[in-house]
């Protein structure tokens, strides 16, 4: 199991598959880089070097005591890129809160080395409902999530993953075993990391980061996403980033990496093959 140390000494676990143009895959909350496995195989089969890592506090990375903010998350990404000695022509793909790392990397680190980016079910540009972001998630909902995690961390995620995977909705259904994997993976995370990261993606405003997207940007979002509403996120990026292209997955929920794995893999292979 490969690891590298970030600038603050946190050990981050990562893995690679294939050779060629590097594409770094950033996972969503509260999972790990393993959620990208099928996409990694598809990228590798199509001549690319797929790289995925576990965010600090999650999966098999260190459960650091601090650093659960997007400046630090983007620094961790920059440190991985430096550790691997990647130069230009890097592709980035971020699922859910992973889109925030991309947005902050583009602004804080000038998008160094990146030639294309994909935001999948991403929290960018702003999750929170405000007067100027009326389609966002109400603060009360985020507070209820926090309370649920504090009251019974394990029970909370049993219910959470029903919306996450669109159980009973109009989109593609997944197996009980897939949801059990997600629950088990979440139990590998530090509870404090999960809580701090939820606050980070729920309350961080990425709208100031959007002008820094100067590269071709693919936005993929399910129209029935109850976890990260498309109107406040994917459609906003498509409207405000000139280089962005939006693909809407009709009737699909948040977890498109599992509900429509082949379609997502195909769209990402096509995008990174051309950009």
pLDDT at 98: 98
96 counts as catalytic = yes
Whether this model's pTM surpasses 0.75: yes
Known catalytic residue at 180: no
* Identified catalytic residue from 212, 225, 265, 267: 225
Domain spans in the chain, listed from the N-terminal domain onward: 2-274
pLDDT at residue number 254? 98
C-alpha–C-alpha distance, residues 242 and 234, integer Å: 13
Mean pLDDT of the chain: 98
String of DSSP letters for 186-251: HTTS-HHHHHHHHHHHHH---GGGGGG--S-EEEEEETT-SSS-TTTTHHHHHHH-TTEEEEEETT
Residue 254 annotated as catalytic: yes
Is the Cβ–Cβ distance between 198 and 96 less than 8 Å? no
Burial of 108 (C-beta count, 10 Å sphere; 0-12/13-18/19+): middle
Of the candidates 27, 212, 221, 254, the residue annotated as catalytic is 254
Fold of domain 2-274: Rossmann fold (3.40.50)
Catalytic-labelled residue, pool 61, 96, 107, 189: 96
pLDDT tens sequence across 196-237? 999 999 999 999 999 999 999 999 999 999 999 999 999 999
Query: Over the stretch 52-104, which tens digit does the pLDDT of each residue have?
Result: 999 999 999 999 999 999 999 999 999 999 999 999 999 999 999 999 999 99
pLDDT at 1 over 80: no
């Amino acid at each position: 199991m490969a690891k590298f140390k970030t600038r603050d000494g946190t050990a981050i676990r990562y893995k690679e598959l294939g050779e060629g143009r590097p594409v770094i895959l950033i996972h969503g909350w509260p999972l790990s880089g393993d959620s990208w496995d099928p996409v990694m195989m598809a990228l590798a089969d199509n001549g690319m070097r797929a790289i995925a890592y576990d965010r600090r506090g999650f999966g098999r990375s260190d459960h650091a005591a601090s650093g659960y903010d997007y400046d630090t998350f983007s620094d961790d990404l920059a440190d991985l890129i430096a550790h691997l000695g990647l130069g230009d022509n890097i592709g980035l793909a971020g699922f859910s809160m992973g889109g925030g790392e991309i947005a902050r990397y583009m602004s804080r680190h000038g998008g160094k080395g990146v030639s294309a980016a994909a935001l999948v079910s991403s929290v960018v540009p702003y999750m929170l409902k405000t007067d100027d972001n009326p389609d966002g998630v109400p603060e009360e909902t985020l507070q209820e999530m926090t309370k649920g995690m504090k009251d019974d961390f394990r029970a909370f995620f049993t219910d959470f993953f029903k919306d996450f995977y669109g159980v009973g909705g109009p989109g593609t259904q997944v197996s009980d075993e897939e949801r059990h994997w997600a629950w088990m993976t979440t139990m590998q995370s530090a509870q404090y990391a999960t809580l701090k990261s939820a606050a980070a993606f729920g309350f961080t405003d990425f709208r100031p980061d959007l002008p820094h997207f100067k590269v071709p940007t693919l936005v993929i979002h399910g129209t029935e996403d109850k976890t990260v509403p498309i109107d406040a996120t994917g459609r906003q990026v498509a409207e405000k980033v000139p280089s962005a292209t939006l693909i809407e997955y009709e009737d699909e929920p948040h977890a498109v990496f599992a509900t429509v794995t082949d379609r997502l893999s195909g769209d990402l292979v096509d995008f990174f093959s051309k950009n």
